[in-house]
Structure 1
């Protein structure tokens, strides 16, 4: 009887385990149909680039552009290169990536870094047809490029709405990692709206899909077979996949592709502020219930923000109807608008909210460079801004400017650091950025002048000398 009971128990347990395994297997998605339908519109992209390498003489000295006069001397009088030097060598550099077809007449979307600097771009389809591609346009800020091949009636991908994507959803990538064409990898969405330091205009989709070199520019699909992202970056310490991948949302990609196709370039609006996150301590110091919004640390001169009356210390809570929870969200929201757009900015100032109307301008080629050049004219090798209200309150500072970035050797040589507050220069009190810039213009070269600096609450004078 006991043996029978044991046998029945084993049968029940085995049956339960089999049902559980079958149930688990049934809950996993089957990607075969998706891959069959989507693969024909995924392409392999390879490039060729001619590079010129410098050569060295027998002592290992490099001969490059700086030795042009010496080269001309030897060639003119002796008809040869300098002793021990060979002519610069030309070679071919190739790169490999992925892409996908977005129109029946041959428009292909990929990453900018896949084709950057290429002399020749090859696009190969799944049926092994190969075409030379024309570069329609690029947008390095979002790392996107639009290509055109001379073909008709091509298969295309279905584009999806990346705004509907949620963490935990299944996604699938098709690409050419390490040159292995049409490799399929799958995973889930780990997070959305990721802001990376190098890409302030892209709210990346983070996934755990295995992405490696060669996957760049390839599509990321949802379970409906729609492209909801373009695989672009990985986080790695080894050069290979480590479980963290980033894709450009399809909404961003198609907006860029449309502008490149119709106008040949991408235009973005510009606000003209430097911003930072609102920490818990900052939120408390400003009187906010919680940490949210984008804190303005500096308003750039002659910018839309300055014209609208925005000030350092303002916290942007909402922009053009979009809530701003983190500072990294603001550049993306602004970047989706166009020059001339008039929008409302809800800001928190002096303990209460108010709405300020802003008329946006065309984004300069590089606002950071503009800001740097305006401040760099003072020859001090630093970018300065107004002292944030919380810092002024904490260290009891009146006026002054805070060093936001060390950009040259002069400031570094004199021992200045990011975060130092300058309250006096060459015997004159510094009330703000305009005072600092005006005073700095009169500093003579090669002679030390006194500078009063507050570092972490401790004031001190240092001798400051400009050597050019």
Structure 2
């Protein structure tokens, strides 16, 4: 009898556990979006975009009258020339397909820049089947965004733009677009990751999703469960499955007024060259965490220099927003209105401080800076490389101007320096914050280094870029 009571008690306990577990499962199921209702409501706001580009024929190169010819040249020119001329003189019309979505009732449409770039004609097909001519009002290649305007007698349905900053990984999303010309295709998935950098440009900040995105989806909207646009389908991994990327809608919201008013985007400019803060570099600066943007160089006369920012500073916050990945800073600065005063939190020599910079206009084509200069000599290779004062011959060898400075002439294979990727011809600007300009100064600094020390160098590579590198001495 006691055994029976014990068994019944176990069954009751299991039943209670199962009963308690059911509500959490039901609650999770209840959060699943109603994709049927969302599709019915949102499809009328999504458009198909067809672009036409007129390709002019290439003219066949004619042989110069002074060129020596063989007896057969005229025959081949007459026989084959007629055939090629007939084909080359016919203009071609190249067509491409993409997607877009209506953001205002008066007919403004957002899409990707690459969808309409170079188009001579833009045709927009609405959900009701009508095809209207579209006018490109503005575009920006670096953000890969474009604004189109259509004119209709009646107001058109428009979407509500959401807040992509509030989007969470694992959240349900839905895409509508025109993949492979299959209009009004609806796919769904989740947010796989945020802040993806895929190498498409300087302002990469993509939302990764497994909602199916294919060629033709470009420019189409990515919705959250509330039916608000949180992203713009932009890119895919060619050989991947379930890997698509969307531009955050907040990036578009920051520039759409500029596109509407001026047709182009004016980006903010701070004037710093930054790099990733590795754990080794963070340790060398006595910073506990490796979060922030390390300033490798400050442009003369820039807002950053005027604000007091220096090489070696670590930017921790921009307008109160923490810099987790260094790639976040260029996007924040670019989206800042001109002449706005911004608060920047920096870390310098073990202390945090705040500076105020006035954002200027970014020049799209940066002017090249003069290379460093120097004299003659040679130093030991304790760090894994050989250093010389920059002579006239070394300057000519590595493509620098003459003057004072130190240049790395050789890098020992397998050394700590070799591991950092420093190539010969690199200019040595700093060692642990000190700037040696002669071999004597360099040797004194190196003599103080001990085995196991983390040494921080500021170098200027042969391509002109300035970087910090850190190495642990053997």
- Distance in 1 between the 2:126 and 2:387 partners? 59
Whether 2:164 is the aligned partner of 1:208: answer: no
- Distance in 2 between the 1:72 and 1:265 partners? 49
SS at match of 2:205: strand
Deviations 1:129-160 (A, max 9, x none): 11111110001111000001111311111221
Residue number in structure 2 paired with 1:453:
409
Residue number in structure 1 paired with 2:113:
112
Deviations 1:231-286 (A, max 9, x none): 111123x3xx5222111111211222111112222111111222111111111111
Deviations 1:307-339 (A, max 9, x none): 333222211111222211110110111112122
1:264-279 matches, cutoff 5 A: 264-279=263-278
Q: Given that residues 300 and 306 in structure 1 are in contact (C-alpha distance below 8 angstroms), is that contact kept between their aligned partners in structure 2?
A: yes
Q: CA deviation at 1:213?
A: 0.2
- Distance in 1 between the 2:36 and 2:424 partners? 71
SS at match of 2:48: strand
Structure 2: gaps spanning 5 or more residues: 1-17, 68-73, 374-380, 426-474
Q: CA deviation at 1:125?
A: 0.4
Whether 2:43 is the aligned partner of 1:42: answer: no
- Distance in 2 between the 1:251 and 1:272 partners? 24
Deviations 1:351-405 (A, max 9, x none): 22222222221011233xx23xx35xx7xxxxx89xxxxxxx99399xxxxxxxx
Q: CA deviation at 1:340?
A: 1.5
Residue number in structure 2 paired with 1:225:
227
Q: Given that residues 395 and 402 in structure 2 are in contact (C-alpha distance below 8 angstroms), is that contact kept between their aligned partners in structure 1?
A: no
Whether 2:378 is the aligned partner of 1:361: answer: no
- Distance in 2 between the 1:83 and 1:312 partners? 68
Alignment CA distance shift 1:70-1:318 (3 Å): farther
- Distance in 2 between the 1:27 and 1:365 partners? 45
Alignment CA distance shift 1:157-1:348 (3 Å): same
Whether 2:34 is the aligned partner of 1:30: answer: yes
Residue number in structure 2 paired with 1:12:
none
Aligned length: 377
Q: Given that residues 387 and 407 in structure 2 are in contact (C-alpha distance below 8 angstroms), is that contact kept between their aligned partners in structure 1?
A: no
Higher percent of residues as strand: 1
Q: CA deviation at 1:305?
A: 2.2
Of 302-311 and 246-255, deviating more is 302-311
- Distance in 1 between the 2:382 and 2:295 partners? 18
Match of 1:395 among 363, 366, 383: 383
Report the TM-score, using the length of structure 1 for normalisation: 0.71
Q: Given that residues 71 and 81 in structure 1 are in contact (C-alpha distance below 8 angstroms), is that contact kept between their aligned partners in structure 2?
A: no
Q: Given that residues 425 and 439 in structure 1 are in contact (C-alpha distance below 8 angstroms), is that contact kept between their aligned partners in structure 2?
A: yes
Alignment CA distance shift 1:340-1:116 (3 Å): same
Q: CA deviation at 1:121?
A: 0.5
Alignment CA distance shift 1:204-1:91 (3 Å): same
Q: Given that residues 270 and 335 in structure 1 are in contact (C-alpha distance below 8 angstroms), is that contact kept between their aligned partners in structure 2?
A: yes
Whether 2:388 is the aligned partner of 1:426: answer: no
CA RMSD of aligned residues (A): 3.8
Deviations 1:32-76 (A, max 9, x none): 111001000100001111123547xxxxxxx5xxx5784999xxx
Residue number in structure 2 paired with 1:161:
163
- Distance in 2 between the 1:181 and 1:106 partners? 19
Whether 2:126 is the aligned partner of 1:122: answer: no
Q: CA deviation at 1:347?
A: 1.5
Residue number in structure 2 paired with 1:405:
none
Residue number in structure 2 paired with 1:135:
136
Alignment CA distance shift 1:70-1:302 (3 Å): farther
- Distance in 1 between the 2:51 and 2:57 partners? 19
1:15-414 matches, cutoff 5 A: 28-52=32-56, 54=58, 67=61, 70=64, 84-85=80-81, 86-87=84-85, 88-89=88-89, 90-151=91-152, 152-236=154-238, 238=239, 242-367=241-366, 370-371=367-368, 374-375=369-370, 395=383
Alignment CA distance shift 1:306-1:225 (3 Å): same
Deviations 1:1-30 (A, max 9, x none): xxxxxxxxxxxxxxx9xx99x968766433
Q: CA deviation at 1:83?
A: 7.8
Report the TM-score, using the length of structure 2 for normalisation: 0.70
Q: Given that residues 390 and 402 in structure 2 are in contact (C-alpha distance below 8 angstroms), is that contact kept between their aligned partners in structure 1?
A: no
Alignment CA distance shift 1:68-1:327 (3 Å): farther
Q: Given that residues 71 and 82 in structure 1 are in contact (C-alpha distance below 8 angstroms), is that contact kept between their aligned partners in structure 2?
A: no
Q: Given that residues 138 and 262 in structure 2 are in contact (C-alpha distance below 8 angstroms), is that contact kept between their aligned partners in structure 1?
A: no
Alignment CA distance shift 1:184-1:424 (3 Å): same
Q: CA deviation at 1:227?
A: 0.9
Q: Given that residues 137 and 260 in structure 1 are in contact (C-alpha distance below 8 angstroms), is that contact kept between their aligned partners in structure 2?
A: yes
- Distance in 1 between the 2:307 and 2:107 partners? 44
Alignment CA distance shift 1:81-1:310 (3 Å): farther
Of 324-333 and 27-36, deviating more is 27-36
Structure 1: gaps spanning 5 or more residues: 1-15, 56-62, 379-383, 386-392, 398-419, 431-435, 441-449, 463-468
